[in-house]
Structure 1
Amino acid sequence: MKKYRIIIFFLFLISIVATDKVYGQINELPLLGKIIYVDPGHGGADPGANHKDILEKNINLEISKILAGQLGEKGAIVYLTREGDYDLARPNIAERKRSDLSRRIRMINESACDLYLSIHLNATTSSTWRGAQVFYDDVNEKNKILGEKIQASFKKHLASRRKLKQINNLYMYRMIKRVGVLLEVGFLSNANERYILQKQYYQRRVANAIVEGVINYFSE
C-alpha cells in the first residue's frame, strides 16, 4: 500500500511540473493565434522619403521583416503586404499610387487579421524633429487604444517624446476597417535618427517596442 502511495505522490508531482510547463509556454506565446498584417510602406518606383541614397522604402521593409519575425516568436500568424522592393499597383496603370493603396486596403480588409501595422518613416523640412509616433483614424474605435499602447512603448523603449495623433484625412487608413495604426518610427530628416534607423540593433529595438505595445493591447 505504501508503495502505491509513493507512486501516486510522484505522479502528482509530475502533473504539477507538466502543468507549470504548459502555463510557461502559454506565457511565452502571448500572441498565440492572433493574425497580424504588417504593411511596409512604399516600394518599387515609390521610394517614400529619402536622403541622398537612403530610401524610406528599404528601411520600412527591413524593420517590417524583423517585426514579423518577433511577432511570430510570440505566437502570432503574420502576413506582409510586400516582401521585396516592389509596389502593389496593377501593371501599366497610370495612377500607380492609388492602385497600390487600394491593393493594400483590399488585402487587409479581406483578411481575417486581428490588427494591422503600417510601417513608415517621417520627414520634414526641419532637421531637429525626431521621435517615433503613432497615428490613428477613428474609423474603428479600437485604433486609438492600440495606438496608446504602442506610443507608450515608444516612450519607454525609444525615449520618444511625441504624442499619439489622430488623422482622418488619409485615404488608406480611412478605408481600412480592421483595427490598426500608422507607425512613423523615426525621422529620416534628422541626422541622428537617420543614422540609427539604418542599424539592425536599432531596428530590432523599434520592432521590440511595437511588439510590447501589441501584447499590452491584447492583454486588456
Structure 2
Amino acid sequence: MHRSLLMCLIALLLLASSSSHSAAAMPFQPVISKSGFDWALPNTVVIIDVGHGGVDGGAAYGDMLEKDINLAVAHKLYAILRAQGIAAVMNRTSDYALSEDNRWHISRSRHRKDLSQRRQLTEEIDSELLVSLHVNSTKNKSKYGPLVLHQTSGESALLAFCIQDALNRQQNTKFLPREGTPFYLLRRVHQPSVIVEMGFISSERDRAMLTDPVKQQEIAEAVASGIRQYKWIAR
C-alpha cells in the first residue's frame, strides 16, 4: 500500500475513534444586539499562526532567526492558499511581537501574553483550522527533518498526518507526526490545530533549505497540499 494512503487511513481511524468526544469548536452563532442587528465575527478557513516575532526571535543560528523564516514561509503559504481559493489570514504580517497587542491579559510574562493573544485571535476570527509555523533546534546537530505536532482530537491528527506526509515527500524523509500535549496552543485552541516544525535550524542540511527562498516556497506548497488533502478527506 502507498505510504501516504496508509498514513491517511491511520488518521481516519483516529478521527473515527474520537468523533464522540472531539474538542472541535461549536458552530459559529451570530450575536444579536439590543438594537436587533446581527453582528458576525470575521471568518476564514485557515489561520496561519506565524511563530515568534519582534523581541522574540525564536530559535537562532548566528544571525539567522526563526521568526524571519516563519514569516517568509507564512507569506508564501498565504499566497498559495488564496490562489487556490482557500481563505486564509496571518496573525502577524511583519516583524513584531503579538504580546504588544495584548492589553487584556494581566501578566508580567511577555511569553504568556504572546501565547494568550494568539489563542484569543482564534476566538475572534471564526475559522476551520489553525496551522502554526515554527523551526526546530537542538544541541544534536545530526537531527533534521520536519515534525508536525497535533492535538488529541482525530481532526487534528488527520490534519497533522496529511501535512507531515506532504513535507516528508518534499524533504525526502519518513517521519511521523506526534501528539503535542504540552504545547499551550494545542491545549487551548478549540478548532483542529497543528504546530508545523518545518526543519532544524541547528542542522546544516535543514538550514540551507530553510533560508533559501526557493525551498521556502516548496515548504509552503507542501503545507498547502496537506491542508487541501485534509479538507478533501474530512469534508
Fold match by TM threshold 0.5: yes
2:61 maps to what in 1? Answer: 51
**In the alignment, is residue 149 of structure 1 matched against residue 153 of structure 2?**
no
Greater CA radius of gyration, 1 or 2?
A: 1
Is structure 2 residue 196 aligned with structure 1 residue 186? no
Structure 2 counterpart SS, 1:86: coil
> Match for residue 76 of structure 1?
86
Structure 1 contact 68–78 (Cα < 8 Å) conserved: yes
Summarize the Cα distance change of 1:200–1:90 in structure 2 as closer, same or farther, 3 Å threshold: closer
* Equivalent of 1:101 in 93, 115, 135: 115
1:34 CA drift (Å): 6.0
> In the TM superposition, what whole-angstrom CA distance separates every residue of 1:60-101 from its partner, at most 9, and x where no partner exists?
000000000001011011111111111111479631110010
Aligned twin of 1:126: 140
Aligned CA RMSD, in angstroms, stands at: 1.6
Deviation at 1:191, TM superposition (A): 1.0
Q: CA deviation at 1:210?
A: 0.7
SS at match of 2:99: coil
- Equivalent residue for 1:66, pick from 59, 72, 76: 76
Distance of 1:200 and 1:212 partners within structure 2 = 18
Of 220, 225, 232, which aligns to 1:207?
220
% identical aligned pairs: 28
Q: Retained in 1: the 8 A contact 2:44–2:126?
A: no
User: Counterpart of 2:173 in structure 1: which amino acid?
Assistant: S
CA contact (8 A) 1:34 1:75 kept: no
User: Residues 142, 62 of structure 1: CA spacing in aligned structure 2 closer, same or farther, 3 A cutoff?
Assistant: same
What's the CA shift for 1:196?
1.8
Cα distance between partner residues in 2 of 1:66 and 1:174: 27
**In structure 2, distance between residues paired with 1:179 and 1:47:** 26
* Counterpart-to-counterpart distance in 2, 1:182 and 1:105: 13
Match of 2:99 in 1: 89
Secondary structure of 1:72's match?
Answer: helix
CA distance in 2, matches of 1:122, 1:162: 14
Partner of 1:26: none
- Following the alignment from structure 1 to structure 2, what is the Cα–Cα distance between the partners of residues 65 and 90? 21
Runs of 4+ in structure 1 over 3 Å off? 90-93
Q: Distance in 2 between matches of 1:90 and 1:42?
A: 12
User: Is the CA contact 1:38–1:79 (under 8 Å) kept in the aligned structure 2?
Assistant: yes
Rounded to whole Å, the distance in 2 between the matches of 1:34 and 1:217 is 16
Instruction: Check the 8 A contact 1:49/1:122 in 2, yes or no.
Output: yes
Distance in 2 between the 1:117 and 1:109 partners?
A: 15
Q: Verify the 8 A CA contact 1:71 1:211 in the aligned structure 2.
A: yes
Alpha-carbon offset, residue 146 of structure 1 = 0.5
Q: Please state whether the residue corresponding to 1:116 is helix, strand or coil.
A: strand
Q: Which amino acid aligns with 1:127?
A: K
**What is the deviation of 1:201?**
0.6
Q: How many residues in Structure 1 have an aligned counterpart in Structure 2?
A: 187
TM-score, normalized by length of structure 2? 0.76
Question: 3-state SS of the aligned residue for 2:148?
Answer: strand
Shift of 1:182: 0.3
Q: 1:174 is matched with which residue: 187, 203, 219?
A: 187
Asked if residue 216 in structure 1 is aligned to residue 226 in structure 2, the reply is: no
How far does residue 141 in structure 1 lie from its aligned partner after superposition? 2.7
Tell me how far 1:108 sits from its aligned partner: 1.2
How far 1:137 moved relative to its partner?
Answer: 1.6
